[in-house]
Structure 1
Amino acid sequence: MKHIIQEVFSSILENPVFDLSLIEKYFSKDYIQLVDHHQLNYDEFILHIKKLKEKVAEQKIDILNYAENGNTIFTHHTAKSVLKDGSIVRHKVLAEFTIQEGKIIGCDELTLLLEGNHTEKDLGSEV
């Protein structure tokens, strides 16, 4: 399952271009994401990815550690984002992904701003 998460990180988050077909490929229409007390459904997640593409010029995700159990994969990763204004934001992320029938159906995530402007602390859930 780690390969699915790596593909999502590289093809959706690190890719500077918004591509709805990639979201449809990897995410269930029943997808729910909980991020720092914010809940996003599938449609709101699509808006979140669009918002990221508006704000972020470049993003790099590094998986520091992961664990798998049944249909669940937990990752400890960092996300370094270069915003379009040139500023850099770095987050530490702990995420638990649930996969059903080859698609991500849920994500329970905590993010911590490590570097950058405090106003970007909610970059992981912004719509």
Structure 2
Amino acid sequence: MNSYKELIRKAFKAVVESPTYDQTLIEQYFSPEYRQYVDGEELDFDGFCNHMKAQKLAVKHAIINFQTIVEEGEIVFTNHSVEVLTNEDRHALIHVIAEFRVKHNRIIYCNELTRLVSGDERERDLGSRL
């Protein structure tokens, strides 16, 4: 991996933007020690996997657009948006500010805040849905 920024980009492309759930890809990019704190919720690795399964059941299409991505040591900060099309053909735009930490070339930690910019209120919890 050339940079941890690139690791984050590749993880989002492979895991979040993909329309299918793939445990092997999650394990490639995320440590079994992974912890995620999102909008007051805490997820461990298994919780994150369940979150990704729930997202795949709800979302037909997702595109990540990084406005800013900054790397310092093993920490990566992102300011990004997620364009979503749900399986019910509802559109949503979600703004995300996140801090990631990387260890042994896998993501071990994420602390993020999400904000529904536009779309149906039912999509407000997509960042933490189980």
Fold similarity call, TM over 0.5: yes
What RMSD, in angstroms, separates the aligned Cα atoms of the two structures? Answer: 0.6
Match of 2:106 in 1: 103
How far apart, in 1, do the equivalents of 2:70 and 2:10 lie? 17
* Off by >2 Å, runs of 4+ in structure 1: none
1:109: how far off?
0.2
Q: Deviations over 1:34-67 (max 9, x none)?
A: 0011000000000000000000000000000011
1:121 aligns with 2:124: yes
What SS class does the counterpart of residue 20 from structure 2 fall into? coil
Match of 2:74 in 1: 71
1:2: how far off?
1.1
1:119: how far off?
2.3
- Counterpart pick for 1:45 among 38, 41, 48: 48
Match of 1:35 in 2: 38
1:19 aligns with 2:22: yes
Q: For structure 2, list consecutive stretches of 5 or more residues without a partner in the other structure.
A: none
Match of 2:97 in 1: 94
TM-score by length of 2: 0.96
How far apart, in 1, do the equivalents of 2:109 and 2:121 lie? 27
What SS class does the counterpart of residue 16 from structure 1 fall into? coil
1:19: how far off?
0.6
How far apart, in 2, do the equivalents of 1:125 and 1:48 lie? 7
TM-score by length of 1: 0.98
How far apart, in 1, do the equivalents of 2:62 and 2:30 lie? 20
What SS class does the counterpart of residue 49 from structure 1 fall into? helix
Query: Which letter does structure 1 place at the counterpart of 2:120?
Result: N
Query: Which letter does structure 2 place at the counterpart of 1:78?
Result: S
